[in-house]
Amino acid sequence: MNHFLTAGEVVYFSIGTGVDLYTDSIMAEKTITFNDVPEAMSYLIEKFNRLEDLIESAVSPKNDEVQWLDIDALCEYLPDKPAKQTVYGWVCKKTIPFHKKGKKLQFLKSEIDRWLLSDESQQEEQPEVFRISPRRKKNY
């Protein structure tokens, strides 16, 4: 049975609770006439597109966002909260990724994240090694 709507014909539907397409209020039943269908469809498409955008922004990380950290921010960001002198030591030994802008040290957050992950994997692979040095005899 094919039934096409004609102008002025009224369609009733009930799905328990519905949303009023014009006021966003919850209601039990909504009457849409044939003339209201294009407006209702454009409303639904707009809502769907907004939901799609919200989901996409929540799921996908912002890759084009570059965040620089100075040494104070880096000390706060790192899990162990090291002292500045410790970080300066890492920079001197070149064990931590850094950039020098003039006299200031700058750290790229994405590089620090990669460094932290790679550092954790290296610690798991390498066993701890202890060095025993011979004692010197004292001459009296």
Per-residue pLDDT reduced to its tens digit, 8-57? 555 554 444 444 444 444 444 567 888 888 988 998 999 999 999 888 87
> Which tokens hold the place of 59?
């799921």
How far does CA 81 lie from the centroid of its chain? 22
Residue boundaries of the structural domains of the chain = 10-59, 68-125
> Which tokens hold the place of 102?
């003039």
Cα dist from 60 to 36, 49, 64, 113, whole Å:
36, 16, 11, 17
Cα dist from 119 to 67, 84, 92, 112, 127, whole Å:
21, 19, 17, 10, 13
Per-residue pLDDT reduced to its tens digit, 49-95? 999 988 887 776 665 678 999 999 999 999 999 999 999 999 999 99
Closest residue by Cα to residue 36 from 46, 17, 54, 22: 22
Report if pTM > 0.75. no
